[in-house]
């Protein structure tokens, strides 16, 4: 990456982080400075000078309103691109990116990480008995319950259908178990209260040393989940990655 592109990207990133009031203050200061420079050059206090200042301020205000709306739209579009429309969890693309970043960070600093792979047992029965709208509502409710029990730094994603994954940065197996147990209890209560005939099969893989790739880590967690399902469903298989 060229030095010019780095400077441009840094400038764009800085601009996007600034609140509108700060941009307004900077713009206003520039207009006032322009007026001062014109006055010092002998521009006097003519009506034309004041008219120019008013026009400049009006354009500044219009530009700031446009910038504020543009930033809102861009933030919303970015969120939509990273979010599953039904459950409001992260989508699989964003999850892969987040997992890749966390693998790199864990490899660099030696942090442990844990990945949980969740499959909803007997989800098809909900669709068959209550209809697809009820199935969609179930998935959204499960995602909501999971979000209530994880940290803001954890990443919940819907990988497709009735399968979810949770990334727990800097979390060992025991720490993940506490959260997983709490999630299962809350979802069991919700399922019983709504007469949903579902449970969860979960595979949890903890990595003191991270695998070589995203696909490898996801495959290990998926394999642990299938072990839980084959053991009779409604259970959790915990494993530790051994290099």
**Rounded mean pLDDT of the chain?**
81
Instruction: Give the pLDDT of residue 242.
Output: 76
Instruction: Give the pLDDT of residue 69.
Output: 64
Q: State how far the Cα of 113 lies from the Cα of 206, in Å rounded to an integer.
A: 6
CA 155 from centre of chain: 7
Instruction: Give the pLDDT of residue 13.
Output: 58
Report residue 134 as tokens: 């009820």
Q: Does 75 have pLDDT greater than 60?
A: no
Instruction: Give the pLDDT of residue 101.
Output: 92
Chain segment 106-142, per-residue pLDDT in tens? 989 989 999 999 999 999 999 888 898 999 999 999 9
Instruction: Give the pLDDT of residue 188.
Output: 92
CB atoms inside a 10 Å sphere around CB 168: 24
Same domain, 132 and 164: yes
Chain segment 17-72, per-residue pLDDT in tens? 656 556 566 656 665 655 565 555 555 454 455 556 555 665 666 666 656 665 56
Same domain, 125 and 150: yes
Same domain, 143 and 196: yes
Same domain, 149 and 183: yes
CATH number at residue 160: 3.30.70.270
* Closest alpha carbon to 224 in 236, 232, 216, 242: 236
Average pLDDT over residues 77-102: 85
Helix (H, G, I), strand (E, B) or coil at 114: strand
* Closest alpha carbon to 159 in 130, 133, 139, 145: 139
Same domain, 100 and 141: yes
Q: State how far the Cα of 172 lies from the Cα of 180, in Å rounded to an integer.
A: 12
Q: Is residue 87 part of a domain?
A: no
Chain segment 191-232, per-residue pLDDT in tens? 988 888 999 999 999 999 887 789 999 999 999 999 999 999
Q: Is residue 190 part of a domain?
A: yes
Q: Is residue 187 part of a domain?
A: yes
Average pLDDT over residues 9-22: 58
Same domain, 131 and 213: yes
Helix (H, G, I), strand (E, B) or coil at 92: helix
**Which domain does 193 fall in, by range?**
92-240
Distant-in-sequence, close-in-space partners of 38: CB < 8 Å, separation ≥ 6: 49
Catalytic residues: 162
More confident: 37 or 94: 94
Same domain, 78 and 123: no
Same domain, 104 and 67: no
* Closest alpha carbon to 21 in 75, 60, 54, 79: 60
Same domain, 218 and 110: yes
More confident: 61 or 96: 96
Q: At which of 82, 113, 135 does a domain end? A: 82
Same domain, 34 and 127: no
Per the structure, how many domains does the chain have?
2
Same domain, 205 and 114: yes
Q: At which of 32, 52, 82 does a domain end? A: 82
Q: What is the dihedral of CA 158, 164, 167, 171, to 10 degrees?
A: 160
Report residue 126 as tokens: 């909900």
pTM more than 0.85: no
């Amino acid at each position: 990456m060229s030095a010019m592109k780095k400077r441009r990207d840094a400038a764009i990133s800085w601009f996007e982080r600034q609140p509108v009031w700060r941009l307004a203050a900077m713009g206003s200061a520039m207009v006032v400075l322009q007026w001062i420079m014109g006055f010092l050059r002998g521009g006097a206090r003519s009506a034309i000078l004041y008219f120019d200042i008013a026009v400049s301020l009006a354009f500044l205000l219009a530009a700031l309103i446009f910038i504020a709306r543009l930033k809102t739209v861009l933030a919303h579009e970015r969120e939509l691109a990273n979010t599953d429309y039904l459950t409001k969890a992260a989508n699989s693309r964003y999850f892969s990116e987040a997992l890749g970043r966390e693998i790199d960070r864990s490899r660099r600093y030696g942090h442990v990480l844990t990945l949980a792979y969740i499959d909803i047992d007997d989800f098809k029965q909900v669709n068959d008995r209550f209809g697809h709208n009820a199935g969609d509502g179930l998935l959204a409710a499960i995602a909501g319950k999971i979000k209530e029990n994880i940290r803001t730094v954890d990443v919940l994603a819907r990988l497709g259908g009735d399968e979810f994954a949770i990334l727990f940065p800097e979390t060992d197996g025991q720490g993940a178990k506490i959260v997983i147990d709490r999630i299962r209890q809350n979802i069991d209560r919700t399922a019983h209260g709504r007469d949903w005939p579902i449970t969860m099969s979960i595979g949890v893989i903890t990595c003191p040393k991270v695998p070589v790739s995203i696909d490898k880590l996801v495959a290990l967690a998926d394999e642990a989940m299938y072990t839980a399902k084959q053991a009779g469903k409604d259970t959790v298989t915990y494993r530790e990655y051994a290099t």
